[in-house]
Amino acid sequence: MGETPELFPVLWGLWRFYLVRAEYQTARELAVQCLRLAQRDEDSALRLVAHHALGNTLYFFGEVSLARAHLEQGIALYDRQQHHHLAFHYGLDLGVWCLAYGAWPLWLLGYPEQALQRSREALTLARKLAHPFSLAHALYYMAYLHYFRREWQAAQAQAEAAMALASEKRFPQMVAVGMITRGWALAMQGQGREGIAQLQQGMAAFRAAAGDLDRPRYLAHLAEAYGQVGQTEAGLTTLAEALATAYKTGDRYWEAELHRLKGELLLRQASPTKEVEACFRQAIEIARQQQAKSLELRAATSLSRLWQQQGKRDEARALLAPVYGWFTEGFDTIDLQEAKALLDALA
């Protein structure tokens, strides 16, 4: 049991178990042990698996830059001919997994075009492999990247493709996450009640299979959908649950957006301006701590828009201009277009 070939899969299995249970600190410790073991053995396959495990876990903690670094190391190590057999030991092709998952920290860090390219690479690779579970995941990860980019129709299309494949191959957990994504996309396209029903159904099915894994983000979808149909109180209650879950589990990468959404819903309720502003400021601070430039841009746009309405044009521009000016790509995305339009109005 002390030898690397015997011990490593046990540690990895425990890592996966605790990650799915949203016990992220234990999962992190196990992922670190996996990497140390793989580095000691100088086995490229084990290092590939370990870098993915640690990158995956760090992402949930909001340590986005470090997560990206580990996933990029996994991508660099991957060789299709040498490593595809790992898919039959670990569930997914590790090249697809690192590419697809690696797109998410890239988007958070402020590189929406590079993220989209990574996601496309993952999907291209997955289509070449005779491994449907990897393809279903590549479709799901791309659907969520479109969610991050606020591309509702594209998110819906990829989610439906993932659901169709998952239904055919009987991957119930993938059907559930596809339903969540599709429900959000429907809500954002004006089909609020149908979207909320699908979100609730998908979230219930996913929680039964995977507990609190990624629950704060799924609750954020539901809260945003409630906002679309004017149910702000239900949205705020949902966000309170999302924040409590984030604090309990350590799932912090979406925390900035939870505070921003809370501010937006409070604004719809005509809550005191100081309360709304505090939410936006907290979102900005958390995004900065995590180097999550995309979420910082959203929060800065929300606060600048509030200040514009209060006649604080100079303060609004001074806040938003440097954040927008940091970006070098993704100018066709909704977030950057909205920020640019607001800056033009403030000029």
Rounded average pLDDT per 10-residue block, the chain, 347 residues: 76 96 97 95 92 98 98 97 92 96 98 98 95 96 96 97 96 95 96 96 92 94 96 98 96 98 95 95 98 98 97 98 98 98 97
Residue 164 counted as domain residue: no
What pLDDT does residue 211 have?
85
Give dist(CA 249, CA 65) in Å, integer. 20
Question: Which CATH number belongs to the domain containing residue 331 in this structure?
Answer: 1.25.40.10
Whether 92 maps to a domain, the answer reads no
CB of 226 closer than 8 Å to CB of 234: yes
* Tokens at 258, concatenated: 């939870």
State the pLDDT at residue 209: 85
Residue 295 domain flag: yes
Examine residue 228 and state whether it is found in any structural domain, yes or no.
no
Of the candidates 75, 65, 117, 68, the residue with the CA atom closest to the CA atom of residue 96: 75
Angle of CA points 222, 266, 191, to nearest 5°: 35
Listing DSSP states for 317-338 in one string gives: HHHHHHHHHH--S-TTSHHHHH
Q: What is the pLDDT of residue 271?
A: 85
Q: Tell me what pLDDT residue 3 has.
A: 67
Per the CB < 8 A criterion, the answer to whether 59 and 253 are in contact is yes
CA-closest candidate to residue 267, choices 216, 308, 323, 296: 308
* Domain tally, the chain: 1
Is residue 93 domain-resident? Answer: no
259-314 pLDDT per residue, tens:
999 999 999 998 899 999 999 999 999 999 999 999 999 999 999 999 999 999 99
> In angstroms, rounded to a whole number, what is the distance separating the alpha carbons of residues 156 and 308?
33
The pair of structure tokens assigned to 220 is 């954020």
Is residue 318 one of the residues assigned to a domain?
Answer: yes
CA distances from 96 to 68, 102, 137, 172 (A): 15, 10, 8, 20
Residue 304 resides in a domain: yes
Give a yes or no: residue 28 inside a domain.
no
pLDDT at 1: 44
pTM: 0.96
Report the alpha-carbon angle 253-261-178, nearest 5. Answer: 65
Which residue range(s) make up the domain with 307? Answer: 254-347
The model's pLDDT over 74-96, given as tens digits with 9 standing for 90+, comes to 999 999 999 999 998 899 999 99
